[in-house]
């Protein structure tokens, strides 16, 4: 069946997904960011990252969530920054974040010590950092501060599926001004199903009513209007996650046929940290972490970004011809 175009999706977004009150303000920030970097000849990538939360009640006690940690998006942001891109990081609240992701499993209080000597026994003693508890912290902090001082990273948060959908549309429109210099790297794990506000119970669902049966609608596919209407000149990468390897590549190719964007990064849940396939209409590149890579702490995202940066370069050149 044909995909609904922008007009239909715009209507659906407005009717069935609450518009976040700050969407216009964020859109202006993103447009200014893209304009500033685009004017300097810099490429800009919008990364989406993390899972989405789908409420079951409007005064939400319960919601459906998914596995995504946001690690792919956060580490990719670092490699894009290292490759000269400016990054808009549209991420789920409290999912992993560039640079701090490296310390996400560390208890902050285990990295700090009260300085011995005067005041150490009182509540006002000096606190010092135990650098050994934070591997490579000086190098990571230096890079984080360089990125921050140069204004190269614009973080934008979302919480719910509704916020994600509206902010992605705003981002697509904001980045359309820089044409082919814009890349969309859609790594977030977005729910395919939702309950429309009009069908959602207001109050907490009562277990005294017995077993729960819910019926959910399909979330509109944003790729279609993004590619055709909102940012038609941009370089667009979607991600495809499956658990069954036998259907992965077929589904990636079908997505390319349907949406006519530039590439799909295909991955399997259990092996996603060490193996992906970058599928384009003409090519298929397997990216694998070798034992040597693992020993040298190379991450799969470094290989993904190197592959996509080169493809984006060719795309920009073709658009100029």
Kindly tell me which of 8 and 104 has the beta carbon lying closer to ligand PAZ. Answer: 104
Verify binding: residue 241, ligand PAZ, rule CB under 6 A: yes
Q: What is the nearest approach in angstroms of ligand PAZ to the Cβ of residue 273?
A: 8
What is d(CA 192, CA 281) in angstroms, rounded to the nearest whole number? 24
Closest approach, Cβ 110 to ligand PAZ, in A, equals 24
Q: Tell me the closest approach of the beta carbon of residue 136 to ligand PAZ, in angstroms.
A: 20
- The answer to whether residue 195 forms part of the interface with ligand PAZ (CB under 6 A) is no
Q: Does 72 bind ligand PAZ (CB under 6 A)?
A: yes
Q: Is 43 in the site for ligand PAZ (CB under 6 A)?
A: no
Residue 279 in the binding site for ligand PAZ (CB under 6 A): no
Q: Hey, which residues between 110 and 139 contact ligand PAZ (CB under 6 A)?
A: none
Indicate the residue among 69 and 233 with the shorter CB distance to ligand PAZ: 69
251 is a contact residue toward ligand PAZ (CB under 6 A): no
Q: Could you say which of 77, 189, 226, 277 contacts ligand PAZ (CB under 6 A)?
A: 189
Of the candidates 37, 71, 91, 169, which one interacts with ligand PAZ according to CB under 6 A? 71
240 is an interface residue for ligand PAZ by CB under 6 A: yes
Q: Does 267 bind ligand PAZ (CB under 6 A)?
A: yes
Which residues bind to ligand PAZ, rule: CB under 6 A?
A: 68-72, 187, 189-190, 239-241, 267, 272
């Amino acid at each position: 069946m044909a995909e609904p175009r922008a007009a239909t999706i715009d209507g659906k977004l407005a009717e069935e997904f609450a518009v976040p009150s700050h969407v216009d303000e964020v859109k202006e920030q993103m447009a200014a960011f893209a304009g500033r970097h685009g004017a300097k000849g810099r490429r800009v990538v919008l990364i989406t990252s993390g899972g989405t939360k789908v409420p079951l009640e409007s005064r939400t006690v319960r919601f459906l969530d998914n596995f995504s940690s946001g690690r792919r998006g956060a580490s990719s942001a670092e490699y894009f920054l290292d490759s000269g891109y400016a990054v808009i990081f549209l991420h789920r609240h409290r999912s992993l974040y560039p640079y701090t992701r490296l310390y996400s499993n560390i208890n902050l209080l285990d990295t700090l010590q009260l300085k011995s000597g005067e005041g150490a026994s009182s509540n006002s003693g000096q606190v010092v950092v135990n650098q050994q508890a934070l591997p490579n912290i000086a190098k990571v902090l230096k890079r984080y501060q360089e990125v921050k001082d140069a204004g190269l990273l614009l973080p934008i948060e979302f919480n719910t599926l509704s916020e994600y959908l509206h902010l992605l549309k705003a981002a697509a429109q904001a980045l359309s001004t820089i044409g082919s210099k814009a890349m969309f790297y859609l790594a977030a794990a977005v729910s395919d199903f939702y309950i429309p506000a009009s069908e959602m119970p207001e109050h907490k669902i009562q277990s005294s009513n017995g077993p729960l049966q819910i019926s959910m609608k399909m979330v509109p596919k944003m790729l279609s209007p993004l590619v055709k209407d909102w940012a038609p000149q941009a370089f667009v990468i979607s991600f495809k996650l499956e658990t069954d390897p036998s259907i992965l590549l077929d589904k990636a190719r079908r997505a390319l046929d349907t949406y006519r964007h530039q590439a799909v990064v295909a991955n399997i849940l259990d092996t996603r940290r060490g193996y992906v396939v970058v599928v384009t209409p003409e090519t298929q590149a397997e990216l694998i972490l070798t034992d040597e890579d693992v020993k040298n702490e190379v991450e799969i995202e470094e290989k993904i970004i190197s592959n996509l940066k080169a493809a984006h370069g060719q795309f920009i050149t073709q658009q100029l011809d």
